[in-house]
Chain A
Amino acid sequence: AQSVSQHNHHVILSEAASLELGCNYSYGGTVNLFWYVQYPGQHLQLLLKYFSGDPLVKGIKGFEAEFIKSKFSFNLRKPSVQWSDTAEYFCAVTLLEDSWGKLQFGAGTQVVVTP
């Protein structure tokens, strides 16, 4: 079955530590990839997206993600986190041939950054 898997459900780290969140998908065909973030009490926001071209994409707030096609992965990274990065992070996928662009999400990773 087609799915989006996020490796960690819960991550706790200290400020200034580096963050990497794993995301794997099991779709055949060409995919569009997204990371969304949900800060406490707020709506889901787009962090970054990949359609084609350079597999290393940069998003808002210092986040970046790398698409590795051979590994069906799209991991999210930030070199040095801040307390304000405490949030839930969601990986999501659409299929290029899906003209309606239905977005399928992973289960999310809750990230807690301690001062």
Chain B
Amino acid sequence: GAVVSQHPSRVICKSGTSVKIECRSLDFQATTMFWYRQFPKQSLMLMATSNEGSKATYEQGVEKDKFLINHASLTLSTLTVTSAHPEDSSFYICSAYRRETQYFGPGTRLLVL
């Protein structure tokens, strides 16, 4: 149990376009999900906390208009990278919170050309 999926697993887009990443908890409901960004061989950097039915809470330095988060249901949160640029290229990971534990998705590799 406690499986989290992400879609897509890998995406390549042109600079200036927007990209949507989905995070789903497959076998449980999660009122709280988290979005992280990770660079190669580095630790996870928390971007925002996604709360079902309310606005996301962003970490300091993360632009909320750049990284739009929608937690529309208890099993789905989406992260939209708007007007993506090459510096947005990274590995994006989500997690869903349940019973004092975060369960992580497999990640989405974004490459902006």
Partners in one complex: no
Interface residues of A (CB under 8 A from B): none
Interface residues of B (CB under 8 A from A): none
